[in-house]
Amino acid sequence: MITSETQLCGLIGHPVKHSLSPIMHNAAFKEVGIDDKYCYLAFNVLESDLKQVITAVKTLNIRGLNVTIPHKLAVMEYLDLIDTTAQSIGAVNTIVNNQGFLRGYNTDLLGVTNALKEAEFDPTNKKIVILGAGGAARAASFSIGRKAAELVIVNRSIEKANELCNDLLESVIVEARSRELSEKILREEVQNADLLVNCTSVGMWPDANQTLLKREIIPETITVFDTVYNPLETQLLKDAKKAGAKTISGLAMFVWQGAIAFELWTGAKAPIQKMKEIVSEKLKGGRNEK
């Protein structure tokens, strides 16, 4: 039951209509028995309003935030302190407010790491292709890059891909290359790759039929990991399965990054299994909208 002492947590991004974070976190609060202490909402925030929103977090004493597209990089300049891991990655997806002092974290990195562990995929000495160069791509690259033999960043903006490669070379010993997104480039790079990670929003509900990779160029020897979790099986994953490739959905990453944020805000152990169940039920039931 919500009272005058209930603390607010939430999600900021644009868009957020697709997000199941409120359902997942509020179910987790209830499972742990702290739903009288915490409540979670989603806020659609335009880039032009970001600074004002972060100021309001302090003013209203909002306990914490998740940060999603397109604010993971831009939000960093408005925080009081950034965790060393998030600083290295160059992206924040979780904020904790301690009496007006805002600290930024990146829980996406462990989200990727744990998702790959669950799928029993070891990136050691493998060639990895990352689609995108934004916040999720940065987390995935820093997570996987510590073990991979070769990392290829493919992005529409070659400048952003170059920037990510340079940041990786400064922090992680990895052979990182940048390529500009095109069907020809994708065809070249995926043929001898061990893992493809889609870190873009392409294929996210409601545009669930979109994909960057045509089925005919997906080799059966590759593993395809889509960080998009809504829908549970994106068009990319459907095509990869039809091509005979192994697939990893974005569900595990979504739950793990949320679980770590939950623990940072509350100090309680996250009910990971319950969080997985509630999100999976909503997605399998076709309820992609809050």
Closest CA to 85 of 59, 55, 111: 111
**pLDDT higher than threshold 60 for residue 194:** yes
pLDDT band at 34 (very low <50, low <70, confident <90, very high): very high
Report how far residue 252's alpha carbon sits from residue 234's, in angstroms, rounded to the nearest whole number. Answer: 14
- Span 115-165, pLDDT tens digits: 999 999 999 999 999 999 999 999 999 999 889 999 999 999 999 999 999
Report how far residue 280's alpha carbon sits from residue 283's, in angstroms, rounded to the nearest whole number. Answer: 5
Report how far residue 128's alpha carbon sits from residue 55's, in angstroms, rounded to the nearest whole number. Answer: 39
- Average confidence score pLDDT of the chain: 95
Report how far residue 157's alpha carbon sits from residue 228's, in angstroms, rounded to the nearest whole number. Answer: 20
> Do residues 27 and 275 touch, judged by C-beta distance below 8 A?
yes
Pairwise pLDDT comparison (108 vs 286), residue with the higher score: 108
**pLDDT higher than threshold 80 for residue 286:** no
Q: Give pLDDT, residue 160.
A: 96
> Do residues 266 and 36 touch, judged by C-beta distance below 8 A?
no
Q: Give pLDDT, residue 288.
A: 45
Q: Give pLDDT, residue 287.
A: 45
Of 51-55, 118-122, 142-146, 284-288, which gets the smallest average pLDDT? Answer: 284-288
Active site residues: 72
Report how far residue 172's alpha carbon sits from residue 145's, in angstroms, rounded to the nearest whole number. Answer: 7
Q: What is the dihedral of CA 5, 260, 93, 23, to 10 degrees?
A: -60
| CA dist list (Å): 240 to 48, 49, 256 | 38, 39, 24
| CA dist list (Å): 19 to 16, 42, 116, 230 | 5, 8, 22, 8
Q: Give pLDDT, residue 55.
A: 97
Question: Which domains does the chain carry?
Answer: 7-106+252-284 (3.40.50.10860), 109-249 (3.40.50.720)
Residue 131: strand pairing partners: 154, 198
Report how far residue 195's alpha carbon sits from residue 192's, in angstroms, rounded to the nearest whole number. Answer: 9
> Do residues 234 and 283 touch, judged by C-beta distance below 8 A?
no
Strands 150-155 and 176-180: parallel
Closest CA to 45 of 91, 68, 13: 13
Q: Give pLDDT, residue 172.
A: 73
